[in-house]
Amino acid sequence: MDWSEIFGPDALVVLLSSSVAFAMPTALAAVGETVAERAGVLNLGLEGMLLSGALASFLVAYYVGSVALGTLAGVAIGVGLGALMAFLSVTLRTEQIINGIAIVLVAQGITAFTFEKLFGGGDQPTIAGIPDVDVPLLHSIPGVGPVLFEQNVLFYISVAVALGVCLLLARTRFGLSVSAVGESPAAAEAMAVSVARTRWLALLVGGGMAGLGGAVLVLGQLNVFEEDVSGGRGWIAIALVIFGRWNPLFVLGGAFLFGFTDALQIRVQAVSGGIASTVPTEIFGALPYAVTLIVMVAATVWAGRDAQPSALGVPFRKGVSA
């Protein structure tokens, strides 16, 4: 097998460019989840928010014809579900894990049902794709240029949003509140930081980003919607938050690592000739998970300390010490 067909400079650029694009929805959801979890809320409803954002954006883009409005619709739905999660987990303080799972179930049910109702029995509806736009000057940088700067508009928006949220967490007052609330809510409350409000906002951000991820998946890449189009990205995103040790930049990196290995295994199959290969295809399928696992273990062993927010998953009650 000719490895230069995968790792030679030209091939590598193609591989990186496509894997970065495909990883974007997961990356967005993962960074959003980082915000929520840093604030102390374990939002397992991510898959449902991503899926709902995908459907909403598809429907608006299909019927109205506007990708921009479709994207906004996706974000709006994500924010709405984030609000639902906040209401259940922060205001009513019920079991976060179950709330999240319930949101996923309801979202899966309603999206599948709606799509079937609108398009059942007919041909698969598709929308026109959006073109790639080269960023002037930047895209000529050898190596990095074609990978990052010859993508479509939604990709650029996603990168901006993801980096923006990283900045939000690291440098703003809100970001500090988030960390405080997730680490030690009682202390935060004593310093006049409203735990409830911070967590609500964190969930709105998290939900919105997941919804954006769904919009990017459908409008920026697939140009179709099908039932369960999210394909487990929400769950991977949650795992990536842990992988990235709750640091949004590492989370982003993890998302791309995972996306890269996933694209890699498909490409290796194509290069190695498929049927003739004696290596079972399942080994290729297992590659992204195995790599993520190994890197995770190596990183933890090397870094040592536990990075999990202390108050993660625990509902906060005013006036009672943790």
Partner 1 sequence: MSVSQATARLIAPPGLNRRLRAILASTGAVLLSLVVGGLLIVIAGGEPISAYRALLDGALGTPYGMGQVLVLAIPLIIIGLGLALAFRGRVYNIGAEGQLFMGALASGVVAILLPVGFGPLLIAAAVVAGVLAGAGWGAIVGVLRARWGVNEVITSLLLNFVAILIFTYIVRRPLRAPGSPDLQGRAIQPDAALPALPDLAVHIGLFLALALVPLAAYLMSRTPFGFRVRMMGFNAEAGRTAGVRSGRMVVGLMLISGGLAGLAGTLQILGVAERLDPGISQGYGFTAIVVALLGRLNAVGVLLAALFIALLQSGGQAMSVIEGVPYAIVLAIPGVFVVFLLIADRLARD
Partner 2 sequence: MRLTKWKAVPICLAAAALAAGAASCGDDDDGGGGGGQAEGKVKTAIVLPCATSDPWCKQGYDAAKALQKQGAIDLQVTTNAPQDTAGVTRVLAQYAQGGTQLILAHSTWQDAAFDVAKQFPDVDIASYSFELRDNVAILEEPIYQAAFLAGMLAGGLTESNTIAGSAGQDVPLCHAELEAFEDGAKRTNKQVKMIDTYIGDWNDSAKGKQATQAQIDQGADVVLACGGGPATGMAQAIKEANISGFGYVGDMSSQAPNNMVGSILYNLEPYFKAAVDDVKNDTFRPAKRYEFGLADGGVSLQLNDGYAVKEIPADVMDQMKQVQEQIKSGKFKVPYEAGA
| Chain residues in the site for partner 2 (CB under 8 A) | 5, 11, 14, 18, 22, 112, 115-116, 119-126, 129, 217, 221-224, 226-229, 231, 262-263, 266-267, 269-271, 273-275, 281-282, 284-285
Span of 72-80, 145-153, 209-217, 235-243 interacting with partner 1 by CB under 8 A: 235-243
How many residues at the interface with partner 1, by CB under 8 A?
Answer: 44
Cα(274)–Cα(280) distance, integer angstroms = 10
Helix pair 248-272, 9-38: axis angle to 10 deg: 140
Kindly tell me which residue out of 9, 10, 66, 91 binds partner 1, with binding defined by CB under 8 A: 91
- Least Å distance between CB 113 and partner 1? 5
Q: Read off the DSSP letter of residue 131.
A: -
- Least Å distance between CB 19 and partner 1? 18
Cα(10)–Cα(248) distance, integer angstroms = 30
Cα(54)–Cα(225) distance, integer angstroms = 7
93 binds partner 1 (CB under 8 A): yes
Contact yes or no for 85/207 (Cβ under 8 A): yes
Helix pair 9-38, 173-183: axis angle to 10 deg: 70
Contacting partner 1 within 102-141 (CB under 8 A): 102-106, 108-110, 112-113, 116
318 binds partner 1 (CB under 8 A): yes
Give which of partner 1, partner 2, none residue 223 binds (C-beta under 5 to 8 Å, depending on kind).
partner 2
Q: Which residues pair with 152 in a beta bridge?
A: 132
Give which of partner 1, partner 2, none residue 271 binds (C-beta under 5 to 8 Å, depending on kind).
partner 2
Q: Which two tokens stand for residue 64?
A: 């109205």
DSSP secondary structure string for all residues of 169-226: HHHSHHHHHHHHHHH-HHHHHHTT--HHHHHHHHHHHHHHHHHHHHHIIIIIII-B--
Between 183 and 226, whose beta carbon lies closer to partner 2?
226
3 binds partner 1 (CB under 8 A): no
Contact yes or no for 275/71 (Cβ under 8 A): no
Q: Residue 109: in which H helix or E strand, if any?
A: helix 96-119
Between 8 and 65, whose beta carbon lies closer to partner 2?
8
Give which of partner 1, partner 2, none residue 261 binds (C-beta under 5 to 8 Å, depending on kind).
none
Cα(211)–Cα(65) distance, integer angstroms = 19
Binding site for partner 1 (CB under 8 A): 88, 91-95, 97-99, 101-106, 108-110, 112-113, 116, 227, 235, 238-239, 242-243, 280, 282-283, 285-286, 289-290, 292-293, 296-297, 300-301, 304, 306, 308, 318
